[in-house]
Amino acid sequence: MATDQATDDRFEGFSSDDKLARKRLYGKLFVGICFLATISGVVALGALIADLIIESWGWLSWNFLTYPPSPSEFHYTDGRGAGIYPALVGSIFLIALTAVFTVFLGVGAAIYLEEYAADNYATRFIEANISNLAGVPSIVYGLLGLALFVRAGGLGSVLIAGALTLTLLILPIVIVSAQEAIRAVPDSQRRAAYGVGATEWEVTRDVVLPSALPGIMTGTILALARAIGETAPLIMVGAAVSVFNPPAGLFEPFAAMPMQIFEWASQPAGEFQHIAAAGSVVLLTVMLIMNLMAILIRNKYETEL
């Protein structure tokens, strides 16, 4: 009986010290390899941070934050240097405007899907479509913005065109996180409100939205923190790279930090590498502040509930 023979062999092999020792060794080797793999990601993060600090050391100054970008190397020698001011303010305006559009559209869509929509084919199509949109490359959204807002809409390469493009880009993420926040509101609260005669709209406005608000805010701020680092859509929309003032209005040209960093990083001269690094540090700091805000909001309301 071949099978019995095989089982016997395996059993004998297993009991022998030699094989057991080898299995232990393989086990240890495997843990070692897995651990090394895990550490390699951490090392990459460390190298990234170290590289940015070393390259930007001495270049990140108050002047850098308050001066316009320098068009030529000449300006570095007179002590003023180049600055990120118009791009920093431009990015903040851009994100503030994006926030207004995304909160309105994202929360509206999430309320519709969670509170109003029937569980039918159309709803499932909308939800599947949202998850597909989240996988579309950001540069394709840039093409949409270019054709729709900049050209067909006749807006030109202005602040509001950039904000609308970024809105469409992060809308899927905002909707999904807002849906989660709304789903977390207990059904008993809704039923209690319906029980005292509230309409669908009153339940949404007075019961669901107030409870879901911290969750919605957290998700939206995290999505906006991602949007502020997006470069490719802004290139397609045509954000400016040599602007010396912050945007003066919604329909004015604008500079943004990631565009400015791209412009500096593409310059061959060595000095530009340092200001590209300094710009990256400013961008990451703004993102870090936004993430901290989101965490603070979450922690504050999690403990209160």
Partner 1 sequence: MSTTDITADAVSDRQSRIARVVFFSCALVTVLTTFGIIAVLVTGAIPFFREVSIIEFFTSTTWSPLKEPNSFGIWPLIWGTMMIVVGSAVIALPIGVLTAIYLSEYASSRVRRILKPTLEILAGVPTIVYGFFAISFITPQIQRVFPQTGTFNAAAGAIVVAIMILPMVSSLSEDAMSAVPDHLRQAGYGLGATKLEVSTKIVVPAALSGILASFILAISRAIGETMAVTLAAGMNPNITVNALEEIQTMTAYMVKVGQGDVSVGSIGYQSLFAVGLVLFVMTLAMNIASQWIRLRYREEYD
5-44: which residues touch partner 1 (CB under 8 A)? 14, 23-24, 26-27, 30-31, 33-38, 40-42, 44
Q: Which is nearer to partner 1, 31 or 96 (CB)?
A: 31
Two structure tokens written together for 216: 């919605």
CA distances 75 to 97, 181, 266, Å, are 33, 50, 18
CA torsion, ordered 138, 144, 146, 149, to nearest 10 deg: -120
Binding mask 205-224 for partner 1 (x = CB under 8 A): x-------------------
CA torsion, ordered 227, 229, 235, 237, to nearest 10 deg: 20
Q: Are 104 and 164 in contact (CB under 8 A)?
A: no
Q: Are 183 and 157 in contact (CB under 8 A)?
A: no
Using CB under 8 A, pick the residue from 232, 250, 293, 297 that binds partner 1.
Answer: 232
Closest distance to partner 1 from the beta carbon of 78 (Å) = 25
Q: Which is nearer to partner 1, 69 or 106 (CB)?
A: 106
Interface with partner 1 in residues 274-293 (CB under 8 A): 276-277, 280, 283-284, 287, 291
Q: Which stretch binds partner 1 (CB under 8 A): 71-79, 89-97, 104-112, 183-191?
A: 104-112
Q: Does 133 bind partner 1 (CB under 8 A)?
A: yes
CA distances 276 to 59, 65, 230, 249, 258, Å, are 10, 13, 16, 27, 10
Interface with partner 1 in residues 255-274 (CB under 8 A): 258, 261-262, 265-266, 273
Interface with partner 1 in residues 59-88 (CB under 8 A): none
Interface with partner 1 in residues 109-128 (CB under 8 A): 109, 111-113, 115-117, 125-126, 128
d(CA 163, CA 227): 10
Interface with partner 1 in residues 142-201 (CB under 8 A): 142-144, 146-148, 151, 168, 171-172, 175, 199-201
- Compute the residue count for the chain: 305
